[in-house]
Chain A
Amino acid sequence: ILNVEQSPQSLHVQEGDSTNFTCSFPSSNFYALHWYRWETAKSPEALFVMTLNGDEKKKGRISATLNTKEGYSYLYIKGSQPEDSATYLCALHAGGTSYGKLTFGQGTILTVHP
């Protein structure tokens, strides 16, 4: 069973603060790491798919980095806005017997206060 862990579980920040959170995963048999943004009462929305060690991806104020050798990814939000409030999920796609499925972390719940 693959263990994908996210920290912290929840985070409260003020509008304008920059923030980051972590996704840890087993580094063996790595295929891809996905980040999703999940707003309450909506469906998960893809942010990034990262496949190469050292990958950095950016979408507006949100960016992510990937270290496959040590098994972690960071998601950064610069200048948080109230509309960034959501659960941020990472999901691992591994090879071997896990090929073909995503294993999700439990998510980091971000609340941005105006």
Chain B
Amino acid sequence: DTAVSQTPKYLVTQMGNDKSIKCEQNLGHDTMYWYKQDSKKFLKIMFSYNNKELIINETVPNRFSPKSPDKAHLNLHINSLELGDSAVYFCASSQGFVDTQYFGPGTRLTVL
């Protein structure tokens, strides 16, 4: 049973395209996150949602739009993809903000 799952695992696309990454958690957690692993391998928070409400938007370009249809899902839609968007994106969930975060397997996005 996968606790936090992401699809797709790999995504290769052309500059200018629009794409989505899906995330689902079956842990019953209230809080979900999107992280970007940058070129220096740092994990940086992008967004967090609590009970479908946006809590943190960490100065991410507005080409990135998270959507939480319900507590168990947090999808990431990216418009007009740029070369610099190439990275590994991780979804995570936790019960509360201070609690342990459980990470998905990551989605490697390559923009050509």
Contact = CB atoms under 8 A, between A and B. Distances in A.
Interface of A: 31-32, 34, 42-46, 49, 51, 87, 89, 91, 93, 99-104, 106-107
Contact of A101 (B40, B48, B100, B104): B48
Contacts of B103: 43-45
Interface string B55-73: 1101000000000000000
Given A43-B105, A100-B56, A107 B41 contact: yes
30 contacts: A31-B98, A32-B98, A34-B100, A34-B101, A42-B105, A43-B4, A43-B103, A43-B105, A44-B43, A44-B90, A45-B103, A46-B100, A46-B101, A46-B102, A87-B41, A91-B43, A93-B98, A100-B50, A100-B55, A101-B33, A101-B48, A101-B56, A101-B97, A102-B45, A103-B45, A104-B42, A104-B43, A104-B44, A106-B41, A107-B41
A114 B44 CA distance: 33
Interface of B: 4, 33, 40-45, 48, 50, 55-56, 58, 90, 97-106
